[in-house]
Amino acid sequence: MRFVLRRLGFFVLTLWAALTVNFFIPRLMPGSPLQALRDRTHNKLSPAALEQMLTSYGFKPNQNVVVQYLDYLQNMVTGHWGVSIGATLGEPVTRVVRQALPWTLGLVGTATILAFALGSLIGIVAGWKRGGRLDALLPPVFVVTSALPYFWVGLLFILVFSVWTGGLLPSDFNYDPHLQPSLSLGFAGNVLLHAVLPAGTIVVTAIGGWILTMRNNMITTLAEDYVRMGRAKGLSNGRIMTTYAARNALLPNLSGFAMSLGFVISGAILVEYVFNYPGLGYLLYNAVQNTDYPLMQALFMLFTVAVLVSVLLCDFATAWLDPRARAKG
């Protein structure tokens, strides 16, 4: 119980800190949102309308900062995220976010899980067959791939699979613009086709890290006494590898995986940008370009909440899976 309370306390504190950072950054930096908005609308809107617009997302320039801050906190927590003032002028932020969310979750989520599963599997085998051909080849290769800038890998993929092959795989958008979204097989195929290159980019750059850490964990675990014990008992190699070594070696990677799941909804801004994929990351980029402060604030809060929730879940999962972590509290 104490454990749960501590974690929840951390959750609330961090969320508060993130919201506060998000509130004060625009106010401490040079340049005011009001001015930016005035420039953007080329003075077409009356000052009263601008004032009204700013008020709708809780920015009241003439009010006491403390009151503004408290209003802002309340609005963020209760889901009153205001109205977009950027490219999607006048639309509620919640609706804009809801349209983009499934695309990011589908694309980046699947790619992240795929990279983790594949990477761990390869890492387990490489660590088990220490000094084998796989193990000699993999570490240097994946040290390099994990240092690649992932937007650049995306560009490379576009060049090879789309430009040079005359458009074999699409390099733009989530589905062909002339198609109507429907539940048909053809539409689903089109969506999948459009996801191949961006997902491939994420998998290629993310997999290296998982392989390397998994391999190293595996090597450390294989030196443990209980593995030797398993050998002495005459257990089969497969059994030792999977249920003795791999299970324990996987534990430390679990928290990293949880973190990366949390970063799913924010993490692939550059990939979404390169492929014009209309997910949350692309949305944030556009919000920044159009000084859409309400949208930016809502997105930033969402990103933080996602990470926090997954860290929280991971803590509980680790405590459930690993008695040692439970004892440490």
Partner 1 sequence: MTALLVDTSPVTGAPSPVRHRAGGGLWTAVRTNRKALTGLVIFLVFCLLAVAPWLFTPVRHPNELQFLPALGLSREHPLGTTTLGQDILAQLVYGTRQSLVIALVAGLFATVLSVLVGVSAAYLGGFADDVLSMLINVFLVLPTFPLIIILATYAGKGSLLVILVVLVLTGWSYGANQLRAQTLSLRNRDFLESARVRGERRSYIIVAEVLPTMTSLIVANFLGAALYSVLTAAGLQFLGLGDANSTSWGTMLYWAQSQQALQSGLPLWSLAPGLCVALLGASFALINYAFDEISNPALRPVRRPRARRRDSGGS
* Residue indicated by tokens 């040692």: 324
Closer Cβ to partner 1, 91 or 135, answer by number: 135
Query: Residue 273, interface with partner 1 (CB under 8 A)?
Result: yes
**Distance of alpha carbon 151 from alpha carbon 205, whole angstroms:** 10
Query: Residue 120, interface with partner 1 (CB under 8 A)?
Result: no
φ/ψ of 92, rounded to 5, equals -60, 140
Closer Cβ to partner 1, 242 or 289, answer by number: 289
Query: Residue 263, interface with partner 1 (CB under 8 A)?
Result: yes
φ/ψ of 64, rounded to 5, equals -55, 135
Using CB under 8 A, which residues numbered 177 to 216 contact partner 1? 212-213, 216
**Distance of alpha carbon 237 from alpha carbon 129, whole angstroms:** 11
Burial zone of 74 (CB within 10 Å; 0-12 exposed, 13-18 middle, 19+ buried): exposed
Extract the tokens encoding 141. 């290769």
- Site size with partner 1, rule: CB under 8 A: 68
Closer Cβ to partner 1, 135 or 187, answer by number: 135
Residues 45, 114, 134, 155: which binds partner 1 (CB under 8 A)?
Answer: 155
Instruction: Tell me which stretch binds partner 1 (CB under 8 A): 48-56, 78-86, 151-159, 234-242.
Output: 151-159
* Strands annotated E in the chain: none
Closer Cβ to partner 1, 113 or 254, answer by number: 254
**Distance of alpha carbon 329 from alpha carbon 319, whole angstroms:** 8
The DSSP letter of residue 181 is P
Query: Residue 4, interface with partner 1 (CB under 8 A)?
Result: no
CA count, 13 A, side-chain hemisphere, 134: 13
92 forms beta bridges with: 83
Residues that bind partner 1 in the complex, under the rule CB under 8 A: 6-7, 9-10, 13-14, 17-18, 21, 25-26, 29-31, 130-131, 135-136, 139-140, 143-144, 146-149, 151-152, 155-156, 158-159, 163, 212-213, 216-217, 219-220, 223, 252, 254-255, 259, 262-263, 266-267, 269-270, 273, 284-285, 288, 291, 296, 299-300, 303-304, 306-308, 311, 315, 318, 325, 328
